[in-house]
Structure 1
Amino acid sequence: MVGYGPEGDHFVTELTYNYGIGSYQLGNDFLGITVASRQAVSNARKLKWPLSEMGDGVFETKAPGGYKFYLQDCSPPQSDPVLKVTLAVSDLQKSLNYWSNLLGMKIYEKDEKEQRALLGYADNQCKLELQAIPGKVDHATGFGRIAFSCPQKELSDIEDLMKRENQKILTPLVSLDTPGATVQVIILADPDGHEICFGDEAFRELSKVDPEGNKLLDD
Protein backbone atom coordinates (compact mmCIF):
# COMPACT_ATOMS: atom_id res chain seq x y z
CA MET A 1 0.00 0.00 0.00
CA VAL A 2 1.63 3.25 -1.11
CA GLY A 3 0.52 6.85 -0.70
CA TYR A 4 1.46 10.30 0.56
CA GLY A 5 0.21 9.71 4.11
CA PRO A 6 -1.69 7.33 6.38
CA GLU A 7 -4.55 5.45 4.77
CA GLY A 8 -6.96 6.84 7.35
CA ASP A 9 -6.94 10.25 5.65
CA HIS A 10 -5.08 9.76 2.35
CA PHE A 11 -5.74 7.93 -0.89
CA VAL A 12 -3.46 4.91 -1.22
CA THR A 13 -2.74 2.56 -4.09
CA GLU A 14 -2.50 -1.17 -3.56
CA LEU A 15 0.18 -2.77 -5.71
CA THR A 16 -0.28 -6.52 -6.16
CA TYR A 17 2.28 -8.90 -7.61
CA ASN A 18 0.84 -12.19 -8.84
CA TYR A 19 3.40 -14.94 -9.24
CA GLY A 20 3.83 -16.46 -12.68
CA ILE A 21 2.14 -13.62 -14.58
CA GLY A 22 4.48 -11.61 -16.78
CA SER A 23 2.05 -8.97 -18.04
CA TYR A 24 -1.56 -7.84 -18.04
CA GLN A 25 -3.77 -6.76 -20.88
CA LEU A 26 -5.08 -3.27 -20.14
CA GLY A 27 -8.59 -2.30 -21.10
CA ASN A 28 -10.11 1.15 -21.58
CA ASP A 29 -11.67 1.26 -18.10
CA PHE A 30 -8.97 3.03 -16.07
CA LEU A 31 -8.08 6.47 -17.45
CA GLY A 32 -5.55 7.59 -14.86
CA ILE A 33 -4.67 9.06 -11.49
CA THR A 34 -4.01 12.81 -11.16
CA VAL A 35 -1.36 13.95 -8.68
CA ALA A 36 -0.42 17.55 -7.81
CA SER A 37 3.29 17.45 -6.96
CA ARG A 38 6.20 19.59 -8.10
CA GLN A 39 8.44 16.95 -6.54
CA ALA A 40 6.98 14.19 -8.72
CA VAL A 41 7.60 16.21 -11.89
CA SER A 42 11.10 17.06 -10.71
CA ASN A 43 11.81 13.40 -9.89
CA ALA A 44 10.60 12.27 -13.32
CA ARG A 45 12.87 14.76 -15.07
CA LYS A 46 15.83 13.83 -12.87
CA LEU A 47 15.32 10.11 -13.56
CA LYS A 48 14.60 10.77 -17.25
CA TRP A 49 11.20 9.11 -16.85
CA PRO A 50 9.11 9.74 -20.01
CA LEU A 51 6.78 12.74 -19.64
CA SER A 52 4.34 14.07 -22.24
CA GLU A 53 3.35 17.71 -21.75
CA MET A 54 -0.41 18.17 -21.88
CA GLY A 55 -0.45 21.94 -21.28
CA ASP A 56 -1.26 24.08 -18.23
CA GLY A 57 1.55 22.45 -16.27
CA VAL A 58 0.16 18.92 -16.60
CA PHE A 59 2.31 15.99 -17.70
CA GLU A 60 1.18 12.51 -18.68
CA THR A 61 3.33 9.55 -17.71
CA LYS A 62 2.92 5.81 -17.27
CA ALA A 63 3.76 3.37 -14.52
CA PRO A 64 5.75 0.29 -15.59
CA GLY A 65 2.54 -1.70 -16.15
CA GLY A 66 1.14 0.95 -18.48
CA TYR A 67 -1.27 2.61 -16.04
CA LYS A 68 -1.54 6.35 -16.68
CA PHE A 69 -0.70 9.13 -14.24
CA TYR A 70 -1.19 12.86 -14.73
CA LEU A 71 1.28 14.99 -12.81
CA GLN A 72 0.45 18.63 -12.10
CA ASP A 73 3.54 20.77 -11.65
CA CYS A 74 2.17 22.66 -8.65
CA SER A 75 1.76 22.45 -4.92
CA PRO A 76 -1.22 20.30 -3.84
CA PRO A 77 -4.36 22.31 -2.97
CA GLN A 78 -5.14 19.83 -0.17
CA SER A 79 -3.24 17.66 2.31
CA ASP A 80 -3.34 14.70 -0.07
CA PRO A 81 -1.54 15.31 -3.41
CA VAL A 82 -3.69 12.63 -5.10
CA LEU A 83 -6.47 14.75 -6.57
CA LYS A 84 -8.61 12.30 -8.53
CA VAL A 85 -9.01 8.87 -10.07
CA THR A 86 -10.60 8.82 -13.52
CA LEU A 87 -12.75 5.90 -14.70
CA ALA A 88 -14.40 5.40 -18.08
CA VAL A 89 -18.16 4.95 -18.27
CA SER A 90 -20.47 4.16 -21.18
CA ASP A 91 -23.44 6.25 -20.02
CA LEU A 92 -22.65 9.26 -17.83
CA GLN A 93 -26.18 9.85 -16.56
CA LYS A 94 -26.66 6.20 -15.67
CA SER A 95 -23.35 6.20 -13.79
CA LEU A 96 -24.18 9.44 -11.98
CA ASN A 97 -27.45 7.91 -10.84
CA TYR A 98 -25.51 4.96 -9.40
CA TRP A 99 -22.59 6.80 -7.78
CA SER A 100 -24.52 9.85 -6.59
CA ASN A 101 -28.14 8.83 -6.02
CA LEU A 102 -27.40 5.32 -4.74
CA LEU A 103 -23.91 5.55 -3.22
CA GLY A 104 -24.38 9.10 -1.96
CA MET A 105 -21.44 10.84 -3.61
CA LYS A 106 -21.65 14.62 -4.04
CA ILE A 107 -21.35 15.94 -7.60
CA TYR A 108 -18.69 18.67 -7.59
CA GLU A 109 -18.54 19.30 -11.32
CA LYS A 110 -20.50 18.20 -14.37
CA ASP A 111 -19.57 19.04 -17.96
CA GLU A 112 -22.24 17.98 -20.44
CA LYS A 113 -20.12 18.93 -23.45
CA GLU A 114 -17.08 16.96 -22.32
CA GLN A 115 -19.32 14.22 -20.89
CA ARG A 116 -17.48 14.09 -17.59
CA ALA A 117 -18.30 14.58 -13.92
CA LEU A 118 -16.33 14.93 -10.69
CA LEU A 119 -17.67 13.33 -7.50
CA GLY A 120 -16.54 12.82 -3.93
CA TYR A 121 -17.51 12.16 -0.33
CA ALA A 122 -15.66 15.16 1.15
CA ASP A 123 -14.14 18.43 -0.04
CA ASN A 124 -10.61 17.61 1.10
CA GLN A 125 -10.47 14.02 -0.18
CA CYS A 126 -9.42 12.45 -3.46
CA LYS A 127 -12.23 12.71 -6.02
CA LEU A 128 -13.69 10.24 -8.50
CA GLU A 129 -13.94 11.47 -12.08
CA LEU A 130 -16.28 9.72 -14.51
CA GLN A 131 -15.52 10.19 -18.21
CA ALA A 132 -17.93 8.91 -20.84
CA ILE A 133 -16.34 7.07 -23.76
CA PRO A 134 -17.86 5.75 -27.01
CA GLY A 135 -18.85 2.11 -26.91
CA LYS A 136 -18.39 -0.47 -24.20
CA VAL A 137 -16.10 -0.28 -21.17
CA ASP A 138 -13.57 -3.13 -21.42
CA HIS A 139 -11.81 -4.26 -18.23
CA ALA A 140 -9.51 -6.79 -19.95
CA THR A 141 -7.23 -8.52 -17.39
CA GLY A 142 -5.42 -5.57 -15.77
CA PHE A 143 -8.33 -4.16 -13.77
CA GLY A 144 -8.60 -3.37 -10.07
CA ARG A 145 -11.19 -1.90 -7.74
CA ILE A 146 -11.81 1.21 -5.68
CA ALA A 147 -12.27 0.79 -1.93
CA PHE A 148 -13.91 3.11 0.59
CA SER A 149 -13.74 3.05 4.37
CA CYS A 150 -17.24 2.90 5.80
CA PRO A 151 -18.67 2.51 9.33
CA GLN A 152 -19.55 -1.11 10.00
CA LYS A 153 -23.13 -0.21 10.95
CA GLU A 154 -23.76 1.19 7.44
CA LEU A 155 -22.57 -1.84 5.46
CA SER A 156 -25.78 -3.84 5.83
CA ASP A 157 -27.77 -0.77 4.72
CA ILE A 158 -25.68 -0.58 1.55
CA GLU A 159 -26.30 -4.27 0.88
CA ASP A 160 -30.06 -3.90 1.46
CA LEU A 161 -30.20 -0.87 -0.85
CA MET A 162 -28.40 -2.69 -3.66
CA LYS A 163 -30.74 -5.66 -3.32
CA ARG A 164 -33.81 -3.41 -3.45
CA GLU A 165 -32.46 -1.61 -6.53
CA ASN A 166 -31.49 -4.89 -8.23
CA GLN A 167 -27.86 -3.83 -8.48
CA LYS A 168 -24.98 -6.25 -8.80
CA ILE A 169 -23.34 -7.50 -5.59
CA LEU A 170 -20.11 -9.36 -6.34
CA THR A 171 -19.38 -10.32 -2.72
CA PRO A 172 -22.20 -10.15 -0.16
CA LEU A 173 -21.35 -8.67 3.25
CA VAL A 174 -18.70 -10.93 4.76
CA SER A 175 -16.28 -10.94 7.71
CA LEU A 176 -12.64 -11.56 6.85
CA ASP A 177 -10.24 -12.74 9.52
CA THR A 178 -7.02 -10.90 8.75
CA PRO A 179 -3.86 -10.83 10.89
CA GLY A 180 -4.36 -7.80 13.11
CA ALA A 181 -8.12 -7.34 12.72
CA THR A 182 -11.37 -8.87 11.49
CA VAL A 183 -12.84 -6.68 8.79
CA GLN A 184 -16.24 -6.65 7.15
CA VAL A 185 -16.53 -5.89 3.44
CA ILE A 186 -19.09 -5.83 0.67
CA ILE A 187 -18.04 -5.66 -2.99
CA LEU A 188 -20.32 -4.16 -5.62
CA ALA A 189 -20.18 -3.51 -9.36
CA ASP A 190 -21.44 -0.34 -11.03
CA PRO A 191 -23.32 -0.33 -14.38
CA ASP A 192 -20.02 -0.70 -16.28
CA GLY A 193 -18.63 -3.42 -14.05
CA HIS A 194 -16.22 -1.25 -12.04
CA GLU A 195 -15.65 -3.07 -8.75
CA ILE A 196 -16.32 -1.11 -5.54
CA CYS A 197 -15.41 -2.31 -2.06
CA PHE A 198 -16.88 -0.83 1.11
CA GLY A 199 -15.00 -1.94 4.21
CA ASP A 200 -15.46 -1.11 7.85
CA GLU A 201 -13.29 0.97 10.16
CA ALA A 202 -11.26 -2.10 11.23
CA PHE A 203 -9.18 -1.41 8.12
CA ARG A 204 -7.66 1.48 10.04
CA GLU A 205 -5.99 -1.04 12.36
CA LEU A 206 -4.41 -2.75 9.36
CA SER A 207 -3.33 0.47 7.68
CA LYS A 208 -1.24 1.95 10.47
CA VAL A 209 2.16 3.04 9.22
CA ASP A 210 4.96 0.64 10.17
CA PRO A 211 7.94 2.78 11.20
CA GLU A 212 10.19 -0.03 9.96
CA GLY A 213 8.27 -0.34 6.68
CA ASN A 214 10.80 1.32 4.39
CA LYS A 215 13.72 -0.62 5.88
CA LEU A 216 11.82 -3.92 5.63
CA LEU A 217 10.96 -3.20 2.00
CA ASP A 218 14.57 -2.32 1.18
CA ASP A 219 15.80 -5.49 2.91
Structure 2
Amino acid sequence: MASGAEGKTVPDCENALEWVQNDKRRFLHAVYRVGDLDRTIKFYTECFGMQLLRKRDVPEEKYSNAFLGFGPEDSHFVVELTYNYGVDKYDIGAGFGHFAIASEDVYKLVETIKAKGGKITREPGPVKGGTAVIAFAQDPDGYLFELIQRGPTPEPLCQVMLRVGDLDRSIKFYEKACGMKLLRTIDNPAYKYTLAMMGYADEYETTVLELTYNYGVTEYTKGNAYAQLAISTEDVYKSGAAVELVTKELGGKITRQPGPIPGINTKITSFLDPDGWKVVLVDNSDFLKELGL
Protein backbone atom coordinates (compact mmCIF):
# COMPACT_ATOMS: atom_id res chain seq x y z
CA MET A 1 0.00 0.00 0.00
CA ALA A 2 1.44 3.38 -1.04
CA SER A 3 0.78 6.83 0.35
CA GLY A 4 -0.27 9.71 -1.88
CA ALA A 5 -0.47 13.49 -1.53
CA GLU A 6 -2.25 15.13 1.41
CA GLY A 7 -2.27 11.87 3.35
CA LYS A 8 -4.55 10.11 0.89
CA THR A 9 -4.16 6.35 0.91
CA VAL A 10 -3.70 4.73 -2.46
CA PRO A 11 -5.23 1.26 -2.01
CA ASP A 12 -3.99 -2.02 -3.39
CA CYS A 13 -6.81 -2.80 -5.81
CA GLU A 14 -6.07 -6.51 -5.75
CA ASN A 15 -6.96 -6.65 -2.04
CA ALA A 16 -9.79 -4.09 -2.15
CA LEU A 17 -12.61 -6.59 -2.67
CA GLU A 18 -11.40 -8.73 0.21
CA TRP A 19 -11.05 -5.66 2.42
CA VAL A 20 -14.67 -4.64 1.77
CA GLN A 21 -15.90 -7.86 3.35
CA ASN A 22 -14.15 -6.95 6.61
CA ASP A 23 -14.97 -3.23 6.62
CA LYS A 24 -17.21 -2.08 9.47
CA ARG A 25 -20.25 -0.67 7.72
CA ARG A 26 -23.80 0.29 8.54
CA PHE A 27 -26.65 2.15 6.89
CA LEU A 28 -26.54 5.83 7.88
CA HIS A 29 -29.47 7.48 6.13
CA ALA A 30 -31.71 7.62 3.08
CA VAL A 31 -31.90 10.99 1.34
CA TYR A 32 -35.02 12.15 -0.47
CA ARG A 33 -36.79 15.35 -1.44
CA VAL A 34 -40.02 16.76 -0.03
CA GLY A 35 -42.21 19.70 -0.99
CA ASP A 36 -42.83 21.13 2.49
CA LEU A 37 -40.24 20.35 5.14
CA ASP A 38 -42.26 21.43 8.17
CA ARG A 39 -45.32 19.50 6.97
CA THR A 40 -43.29 16.29 6.59
CA ILE A 41 -41.56 16.74 9.95
CA LYS A 42 -44.97 17.15 11.60
CA PHE A 43 -46.30 14.02 9.87
CA TYR A 44 -43.32 11.83 10.76
CA THR A 45 -43.15 12.94 14.40
CA GLU A 46 -46.89 12.86 15.11
CA CYS A 47 -47.92 9.86 12.97
CA PHE A 48 -44.85 7.62 13.02
CA GLY A 49 -43.36 8.69 16.34
CA MET A 50 -39.99 9.70 14.88
CA GLN A 51 -37.74 12.25 16.53
CA LEU A 52 -36.45 15.38 14.80
CA LEU A 53 -32.71 14.94 15.36
CA ARG A 54 -31.35 18.02 13.62
CA LYS A 55 -32.26 20.59 11.02
CA ARG A 56 -30.12 22.89 8.92
CA ASP A 57 -30.69 25.62 6.39
CA VAL A 58 -28.20 26.36 3.60
CA PRO A 59 -29.46 29.58 2.00
CA GLU A 60 -26.44 29.99 -0.27
CA GLU A 61 -27.37 26.67 -1.90
CA LYS A 62 -31.12 27.29 -1.55
CA TYR A 63 -32.04 24.15 0.38
CA SER A 64 -32.85 22.93 3.89
CA ASN A 65 -32.37 19.51 5.50
CA ALA A 66 -33.98 17.68 8.38
CA PHE A 67 -32.82 14.39 9.91
CA LEU A 68 -35.42 12.18 11.60
CA GLY A 69 -35.40 8.72 13.08
CA PHE A 70 -35.99 6.60 16.15
CA GLY A 71 -32.64 7.19 17.85
CA PRO A 72 -29.30 9.05 17.61
CA GLU A 73 -27.59 9.19 14.23
CA ASP A 74 -24.42 7.59 15.54
CA SER A 75 -26.30 4.35 16.19
CA HIS A 76 -29.55 4.46 14.16
CA PHE A 77 -30.63 4.66 10.54
CA VAL A 78 -32.40 7.95 9.77
CA VAL A 79 -34.13 9.73 6.93
CA GLU A 80 -32.60 12.91 5.55
CA LEU A 81 -35.33 15.10 4.10
CA THR A 82 -34.30 17.76 1.60
CA TYR A 83 -36.37 20.80 0.72
CA ASN A 84 -35.20 22.82 -2.29
CA TYR A 85 -36.41 26.41 -2.14
CA GLY A 86 -39.51 26.91 -4.25
CA VAL A 87 -39.99 23.27 -5.28
CA ASP A 88 -43.18 21.82 -3.80
CA LYS A 89 -43.62 18.61 -5.80
CA TYR A 90 -41.49 15.73 -7.06
CA ASP A 91 -41.94 12.62 -9.18
CA ILE A 92 -41.27 9.49 -7.12
CA GLY A 93 -41.15 7.27 -10.20
CA ALA A 94 -41.93 3.57 -10.48
CA GLY A 95 -38.60 2.22 -9.25
CA PHE A 96 -38.72 3.36 -5.66
CA GLY A 97 -40.83 1.04 -3.53
CA HIS A 98 -41.15 2.01 0.11
CA PHE A 99 -39.56 2.52 3.48
CA ALA A 100 -40.62 0.30 6.38
CA ILE A 101 -41.27 0.83 10.08
CA ALA A 102 -41.45 -2.02 12.58
CA SER A 103 -44.05 -1.66 15.31
CA GLU A 104 -45.19 -3.87 18.17
CA ASP A 105 -48.81 -2.94 17.38
CA VAL A 106 -49.53 -2.07 13.77
CA TYR A 107 -53.27 -1.72 14.45
CA LYS A 108 -52.64 0.95 17.08
CA LEU A 109 -50.11 2.73 14.84
CA VAL A 110 -52.64 2.83 12.01
CA GLU A 111 -55.26 4.34 14.31
CA THR A 112 -52.77 7.03 15.34
CA ILE A 113 -51.99 7.83 11.72
CA LYS A 114 -55.69 8.07 10.85
CA ALA A 115 -56.38 10.27 13.88
CA LYS A 116 -53.70 12.70 12.68
CA GLY A 117 -55.19 12.84 9.19
CA GLY A 118 -52.72 10.45 7.58
CA LYS A 119 -53.54 8.22 4.63
CA ILE A 120 -53.63 4.42 4.95
CA THR A 121 -53.36 2.64 1.58
CA ARG A 122 -53.59 -0.88 3.02
CA GLU A 123 -55.45 -1.68 6.19
CA PRO A 124 -53.60 -3.76 8.79
CA GLY A 125 -53.86 -7.52 8.54
CA PRO A 126 -51.93 -10.67 7.64
CA VAL A 127 -50.11 -10.86 4.32
CA LYS A 128 -51.76 -13.07 1.73
CA GLY A 129 -50.72 -16.66 2.33
CA GLY A 130 -48.88 -15.82 5.57
CA THR A 131 -49.21 -14.69 9.14
CA ALA A 132 -47.08 -11.51 9.25
CA VAL A 133 -49.25 -8.46 9.95
CA ILE A 134 -48.57 -5.39 7.82
CA ALA A 135 -50.21 -2.15 6.67
CA PHE A 136 -49.18 0.65 4.33
CA ALA A 137 -49.27 4.39 4.95
CA GLN A 138 -48.56 7.23 2.53
CA ASP A 139 -46.84 10.44 3.59
CA PRO A 140 -47.82 13.91 2.27
CA ASP A 141 -45.42 13.64 -0.69
CA GLY A 142 -46.61 10.20 -1.74
CA TYR A 143 -43.81 8.07 -0.28
CA LEU A 144 -45.07 4.71 0.96
CA PHE A 145 -44.22 3.27 4.37
CA GLU A 146 -44.80 -0.39 5.08
CA LEU A 147 -45.79 -0.89 8.72
CA ILE A 148 -44.63 -4.29 9.96
CA GLN A 149 -45.78 -5.89 13.20
CA ARG A 150 -42.71 -7.12 15.03
CA GLY A 151 -41.45 -7.58 18.58
CA PRO A 152 -39.17 -5.03 20.25
CA THR A 153 -36.36 -3.99 17.91
CA PRO A 154 -33.38 -1.65 18.28
CA GLU A 155 -34.10 -0.23 14.81
CA PRO A 156 -37.75 0.49 13.94
CA LEU A 157 -36.81 2.19 10.64
CA CYS A 158 -36.08 -1.19 9.15
CA GLN A 159 -36.24 -1.26 5.33
CA VAL A 160 -35.61 0.61 2.11
CA MET A 161 -37.19 -1.15 -0.88
CA LEU A 162 -35.94 -0.53 -4.43
CA ARG A 163 -36.93 -2.32 -7.64
CA VAL A 164 -34.21 -3.76 -9.86
CA GLY A 165 -34.09 -5.29 -13.33
CA ASP A 166 -31.74 -8.23 -12.65
CA LEU A 167 -31.85 -9.55 -9.11
CA ASP A 168 -28.83 -11.86 -9.32
CA ARG A 169 -26.71 -9.03 -10.71
CA SER A 170 -27.88 -6.65 -7.99
CA ILE A 171 -27.18 -9.18 -5.23
CA LYS A 172 -23.63 -9.67 -6.52
CA PHE A 173 -23.14 -5.92 -6.84
CA TYR A 174 -24.17 -5.11 -3.28
CA GLU A 175 -22.23 -8.06 -1.88
CA LYS A 176 -19.01 -7.12 -3.66
CA ALA A 177 -19.19 -3.31 -3.82
CA CYS A 178 -20.89 -2.65 -0.49
CA GLY A 179 -19.97 -5.67 1.61
CA MET A 180 -23.61 -6.57 2.26
CA LYS A 181 -24.79 -10.07 3.06
CA LEU A 182 -27.70 -11.79 1.37
CA LEU A 183 -29.99 -12.47 4.31
CA ARG A 184 -32.79 -14.25 2.48
CA THR A 185 -34.72 -14.37 -0.78
CA ILE A 186 -38.45 -14.83 -1.32
CA ASP A 187 -39.93 -15.94 -4.64
CA ASN A 188 -43.65 -15.45 -5.18
CA PRO A 189 -44.67 -16.88 -8.57
CA ALA A 190 -48.35 -16.20 -7.90
CA TYR A 191 -47.64 -12.47 -7.82
CA LYS A 192 -44.67 -12.67 -10.22
CA TYR A 193 -41.93 -11.18 -8.08
CA THR A 194 -38.77 -12.18 -6.23
CA LEU A 195 -37.14 -10.15 -3.50
CA ALA A 196 -33.80 -10.23 -1.72
CA MET A 197 -33.04 -8.84 1.73
CA MET A 198 -29.52 -7.39 1.89
CA GLY A 199 -27.74 -5.93 4.91
CA TYR A 200 -25.03 -6.01 7.53
CA ALA A 201 -26.85 -7.86 10.32
CA ASP A 202 -30.03 -9.80 11.00
CA GLU A 203 -33.02 -8.01 9.50
CA TYR A 204 -34.88 -8.09 12.80
CA GLU A 205 -32.05 -6.17 14.47
CA THR A 206 -31.14 -3.52 11.91
CA THR A 207 -32.07 -1.81 8.64
CA VAL A 208 -31.97 -3.81 5.40
CA LEU A 209 -32.11 -3.06 1.70
CA GLU A 210 -34.99 -4.92 0.07
CA LEU A 211 -34.37 -5.46 -3.65
CA THR A 212 -37.43 -6.45 -5.65
CA TYR A 213 -37.51 -8.01 -9.11
CA ASN A 214 -40.83 -8.11 -10.92
CA TYR A 215 -40.89 -10.88 -13.52
CA GLY A 216 -40.00 -9.55 -16.97
CA VAL A 217 -39.42 -5.92 -15.93
CA THR A 218 -35.84 -4.80 -16.55
CA GLU A 219 -36.11 -1.00 -16.24
CA TYR A 220 -37.96 1.49 -14.05
CA THR A 221 -38.46 5.23 -14.06
CA LYS A 222 -36.52 6.86 -11.20
CA GLY A 223 -38.29 10.21 -10.98
CA ASN A 224 -36.52 13.02 -9.14
CA ALA A 225 -37.70 12.50 -5.55
CA TYR A 226 -35.66 9.67 -3.99
CA ALA A 227 -31.97 10.56 -4.00
CA GLN A 228 -29.60 8.08 -2.37
CA LEU A 229 -28.62 5.68 0.38
CA ALA A 230 -25.64 6.57 2.62
CA ILE A 231 -23.43 3.89 4.19
CA SER A 232 -20.48 4.27 6.55
CA THR A 233 -17.00 2.97 5.79
CA GLU A 234 -13.66 3.00 7.57
CA ASP A 235 -11.81 4.05 4.40
CA VAL A 236 -13.42 5.70 1.37
CA TYR A 237 -10.29 5.21 -0.75
CA LYS A 238 -10.22 1.44 -0.33
CA SER A 239 -13.99 1.42 -0.78
CA GLY A 240 -13.69 3.45 -3.97
CA ALA A 241 -11.12 1.05 -5.39
CA ALA A 242 -13.46 -1.87 -4.78
CA VAL A 243 -16.43 -0.08 -6.34
CA GLU A 244 -14.36 0.70 -9.42
CA LEU A 245 -13.56 -2.98 -9.90
CA VAL A 246 -17.17 -4.05 -9.37
CA THR A 247 -18.65 -1.47 -11.75
CA LYS A 248 -16.33 -2.72 -14.47
CA GLU A 249 -17.61 -6.24 -13.88
CA LEU A 250 -21.32 -5.72 -13.20
CA GLY A 251 -22.20 -2.21 -14.38
CA GLY A 252 -22.93 1.08 -12.65
CA LYS A 253 -20.49 3.95 -12.42
CA ILE A 254 -18.62 6.10 -9.94
CA THR A 255 -20.15 9.58 -9.75
CA ARG A 256 -17.69 11.08 -7.26
CA GLN A 257 -14.14 9.93 -6.72
CA PRO A 258 -13.08 9.39 -3.08
CA GLY A 259 -12.10 12.56 -1.26
CA PRO A 260 -13.21 15.29 1.14
CA ILE A 261 -16.27 17.47 0.55
CA PRO A 262 -15.19 21.11 0.26
CA GLY A 263 -16.14 23.13 3.31
CA ILE A 264 -16.80 20.31 5.78
CA ASN A 265 -13.93 17.95 4.82
CA THR A 266 -15.98 14.78 5.29
CA LYS A 267 -14.54 12.18 2.94
CA ILE A 268 -17.03 10.40 0.68
CA THR A 269 -17.30 8.53 -2.58
CA SER A 270 -20.51 8.02 -4.54
CA PHE A 271 -21.64 5.71 -7.32
CA LEU A 272 -24.62 4.30 -9.19
CA ASP A 273 -25.53 0.63 -9.07
CA PRO A 274 -26.37 -1.20 -12.33
CA ASP A 275 -29.97 0.07 -12.15
CA GLY A 276 -28.95 3.67 -11.53
CA TRP A 277 -29.65 3.79 -7.79
CA LYS A 278 -27.17 6.07 -6.02
CA VAL A 279 -25.09 5.04 -3.02
CA VAL A 280 -22.76 7.28 -1.00
CA LEU A 281 -20.03 5.82 1.19
CA VAL A 282 -19.10 8.15 4.07
CA ASP A 283 -15.97 8.04 6.22
CA ASN A 284 -17.25 6.98 9.64
CA SER A 285 -14.76 9.06 11.68
CA ASP A 286 -15.60 12.16 9.66
CA PHE A 287 -19.31 11.48 10.03
CA LEU A 288 -19.01 11.30 13.82
CA LYS A 289 -17.10 14.60 13.78
CA GLU A 290 -20.00 16.16 11.85
CA LEU A 291 -22.26 15.05 14.69
CA GLY A 292 -19.92 16.60 17.22
CA LEU A 293 -18.85 13.24 18.64
Aligned match of 1:207: 291
Aligned match of 1:215: none
Is residue 171 of structure 1 aligned with residue 246 of structure 2? Answer: no
The AA in structure 1 aligned to 2:146 is Y
Contact 2:267 2:283 (8 Å CA) reproduced: yes
Is residue 161 of structure 1 aligned with residue 242 of structure 2? Answer: yes
The AA in structure 2 aligned to 1:53 is E
Whole-Å separation in 1 of the counterparts to 2:211 and 2:94? 13
Contact 1:41 1:73 (8 Å CA) reproduced: no
Q: Output the TM-score relative to the length of structure 2.
A: 0.65
Is residue 118 of structure 1 aligned with residue 203 of structure 2? Answer: no
3-state secondary structure, aligned to 1:97: helix
1:205 positional shift: 2.6
Whole-Å separation in 1 of the counterparts to 2:82 and 2:157? 19
Contact 2:110 2:124 (8 Å CA) reproduced: no
Contact 1:6 1:208 (8 Å CA) reproduced: no
Contact 1:41 1:72 (8 Å CA) reproduced: no
Identity of aligned residues (%): 27
Aligned match of 2:116: 47
Residue ranges of structure 2 left out of the alignment (5+ in a row): 1-66, 127-132
1:80 positional shift: 1.1
Q: Output the TM-score relative to the length of structure 1.
A: 0.85
Instruction: Choose from 52, 62, 72 the match for 2:148.
Output: 72
> Whose radius of gyration is greater, 1 or 2?
2
Aligned match of 1:144: 227
Is residue 91 of structure 1 aligned with residue 170 of structure 2? Answer: no
The AA in structure 1 aligned to 2:162 is L
Aligned match of 2:134: 58
Instruction: Choose from 281, 284, 291 the match for 1:198.
Output: 281
1:162 positional shift: 2.5
The AA in structure 1 aligned to 2:83 is Y
Whole-Å separation in 2 of the counterparts to 1:157 and 1:32? 31
Larger % of strand: which? Answer: 2
154-163 or 37-46: bigger deviation: 37-46
32-41 or 193-202: bigger deviation: 32-41
Question: Cα gap change, 1:8/1:130 in structure 2, threshold over 3 Å: closer, same or farther?
Answer: same
Aligned match of 2:54: none
Contact 1:35 1:83 (8 Å CA) reproduced: yes
The AA in structure 1 aligned to 2:254 is I
Q: How many residues align?
A: 204
